[in-house]
Structure 1
Amino acid sequence: MARERATALLVDFDGVLRRWDPSVASGVEREYGLSEGVLTEIAMQWGRLQPVVTGRVSHADWVTSVADALADSAGGPERARAAVEQWQRYRGEVDPEVLDFVREVRAGGVRVGLGTNATDLLDADLAALGLVGELDVVVNSSVLGVHKPAKEYFQAACEALATPPARVLFVDDEDWAVRGARAAGLSAHRWSGSGDLRYLRAALATGG
């Protein structure tokens, strides 16, 4: 049985609409004598990350906890704080092809939401990256208090889009998020790069 064609799009932020240059973190690590990859490794430890993406602690508190964890290897707390602050000043880059796609489908009458596990810095990031007004809704886990891949997260996203789950197409670069969306009744596609845009255009009800 064929699915209903999607009339709304929900896109992930990091890894889809926003991309990160890994050389920024590695440059900071070299400058401060840290082992390669340690900034991301420490920052993304789930026990540290989960409270900030559910709004239980602030982005600033999360940054402090990362610096505290790096104090010994950075040569003291002051150097650790300086390293983490320098790393955090870089806020990523918008993928221009994805942004063009978002604009295209919105112009065709498709509602587009941003569906992200993010911190309380998200609004500032969207403003800094020139994305204010480019999306119909923003579904931030730290505001909801629940994160992807929970069913409740996707239910809230569909409500924000005013679209039933069967009519929402979700795009994310992580398998676990795609599986969670499908379990919640959404169509979902694992993003692997701009080569996917042709498929996504075909899956959306633009122009008809």
Structure 2
Amino acid sequence: MGRERATALLVDFDGVLRRWDPAVAVGVEREYGLSEGVLGEIAMQWGRLQPVLTGRVSHAEWMSSVADALTESVGSPERARAAVEQWQRYRGEVDPEVLGFVREVRAAGVRVGLGTNATDLLDADLAALGLTGELDVVVNSSVVGVNKPAKEYFQAACDALQTAPSRVLFVDDEDWAIRGARVAGLSALRWSGPDDLHYLRKALVY
């Protein structure tokens, strides 16, 4: 017996609906005499990242801790804060093909959720990128209090979509998130780019 076809879609934000130009961070790092990649490396250290993804600290507090870690490298707290602030002004770009697909399936009656590990800045980011109102639900780990790939996160997402896990199709660019979704009972596709939209159209009921 085959698996039920999905009737709801859950899409990741970073790496799927939102893209980042790595040249922006590289430019800031060069301007402040930092080694390439150090901003992301410091920010993504799990001990620093996990609290902000689960709502225990704010985005501002997270970035303050990144600046503190950079102070010695740039010579002063003021320069460290300036480097982080400049880096943070860039909020990424929407993938137009993914947004077009989201609009297409929503117009056909498919509920679409944004399923993301994010901070308390997410709503502001969505507004800045013109995405407010483009999704039926937004499932932000910092609001839920648990992050992907936890089963509890995916259960919260399915509850928000008002759809059983077996009827939800999840799309993410990270293998660990895909594995977590499948453990939670969702169908899941590892995103490799817009060529995957052909498969998604076949996998959804609309």
Match of residue 69 from structure 1:
69
* Mapped partners of 1:19, 1:150: distance in 2: 24
Report SS of the residue matched to 1:197: helix
Instruction: State the TM-score, normalized to the length of structure 2.
Output: 0.99
Match of residue 204 from structure 1:
204
Are 2:118 and 1:118 equivalent residues in the alignment?
A: yes
Match of residue 78 from structure 2:
78
* Mapped partners of 2:166, 2:74: distance in 1: 49
Are 2:129 and 1:129 equivalent residues in the alignment?
A: yes
Are 2:194 and 1:194 equivalent residues in the alignment?
A: yes
Report SS of the residue matched to 2:171: strand
Q: How does 1:146-165 map to 2 (within 5 A)?
A: 146-165=146-165
Report SS of the residue matched to 1:132: coil
Shift of 1:66: 0.3
- Equivalent AA in structure 2 for residue 162 of structure 1: Q
Match of residue 106 from structure 2:
106
Match of residue 30 from structure 2:
30
Shift of 1:76: 1.4
Report SS of the residue matched to 2:188: strand
- How many residue pairs end up in the alignment? 206
Are 2:8 and 1:8 equivalent residues in the alignment?
A: yes
Match of residue 48 from structure 1:
48
Which residues of structure 1 form unaligned runs of 5+? Answer: none
Tell me the C-alpha RMSD between the 2 structures. Answer: 0.4
* Mapped partners of 2:75, 2:15: distance in 1: 32
Shift of 1:77: 1.0
* Mapped partners of 1:76, 1:181: distance in 2: 43
* Mapped partners of 2:74, 2:39: distance in 1: 11
Shift of 1:87: 0.1
Report SS of the residue matched to 2:149: coil
* Mapped partners of 2:34, 2:153: distance in 1: 36
Moved segments of 4+, more than 3 Å: none
Instruction: State the TM-score, normalized to the length of structure 1.
Output: 0.98
- Equivalent AA in structure 1 for residue 179 of structure 2: R
